[in-house]
Amino acid sequence: GQNIDQPTEMTATEGAIVQINCTYQTSGFNGLFWYQQHAGEAPTFLSYNVLDGLEEKGRFSSFLSRSKGYSYLLLKELQMKDSASYLCAPRNQAGTALIFGKGTTLSVSS
Amino acid sequence: DSGVTQTPKHLITATGQRVTLRCSPRSGDLSVYWYQQSLDQGLQFLIQYYNGEERAKGNILERFSAQQFPDLHSELNLSSLELGDSALYFCASSLGGGRTDTQYFGPGTRLTVL
């Protein structure tokens, strides 16, 4: 079966660092994507990991451990505009479609 | 702006009706994916087309169908609509159909069934 687990909600303050964890179980594995989605808007691509380790992209970094079925998204120097849902989406080996969890809603306050 | 366009932006209709949602992929992308997002379910994959051919099927109801045309735009047809079909419908596109391809999402169509 397929299962993705992320915290439902997180809160943080401007300028802080926050880590959003994701654990997953899929039928095979073909990489993991992180997307950001503001309410009522389209998901926008943040990062892609297929090998173990950390991928850094500006204020955002994403980490993957395939053996543990675990990933996290690290957001640094938080800004108010980072308030959004963050979706962890592994891709199983069989197909090319993404499997989305329900996402983590992050609220950033001043 | 991802480069993926979807029309209409909003659609309000009644139960039992049929609607068509339209998607134009990013220039050069051959794959189109359809997803449904309802409040309690998150994003659910419906169907994928690659260069005009159906490539993969997800949780798509028999009342729903899709196609991709020679110019690569795609349409999702929803028929015999029920209240539970109210949701955001997103189209995404990617360069090919490869497993490492990044999918870019359109702005979505919000469907309300009354």
> Helix (H, G, I), strand (E, B), or coil: what is residue A67?
coil
Amino acid letter, residue A49: N
| Dihedral angle of Cα A33, A94, A50, B32, to the nearest 10 degrees | -40
Predicted confidence (pLDDT) per residue in B18-71, tens digit: 999 999 999 999 999 999 999 877 899 999 999 999 998 998 999 999 999 999
Contact status, residue B105 vs residue A36, Cβ threshold 8 Å: no
DSSP letters, B89-107, are EEEEEESSS-TTPPPEE--
Amino acid letter, residue B8: P
Mean pLDDT of A55-71: 95
Distances (CA, A) of A42 to A16, B3, B13, B79, B113: 25, 12, 22, 24, 21
What's the rounded Cα separation, in Å, for the pair A87 and B43? 9
Question: In the prediction, which pLDDT does B86 show?
Answer: 96
Closest Cα to residue B32, out of B106, B109, B99, B87? B106
Q: How confident is the model at residue A95 (pLDDT cuts 50, 70, 90)?
A: low
Q: How many CB pairs under 8 A join A and B?
A: 64
Residue of B nearest to A33 (CA): B102
3-state secondary structure chain A: CCEEECCCEEEEECCCCEEEEEEEECCCCCCEEEEEECCCCCCEEEEEECCCEEEEECCEEEEEECCCCEEEEEECCCCHHHCEEEEEEECCCCCCCCCCCCCEEEEEEC
From chain B, the residues in CB contact with A93 under 8 A are 99
From chain B, the residues in CB contact with A48 under 8 A are 100, 102
Residue of A nearest to B103 (CA): A45
Mean pLDDT of A34-57: 94
Predicted confidence (pLDDT) per residue in A9-29, tens digit: 999 999 999 999 999 998 888
From chain A, the residues in CB contact with B58 under 8 A are 97
Contact status, residue A27 vs residue B96, Cβ threshold 8 Å: no
- Pick the residue of A96, A98, A99, A104 with the most B CBs within 10 A to test the interface with B by mutation: A96
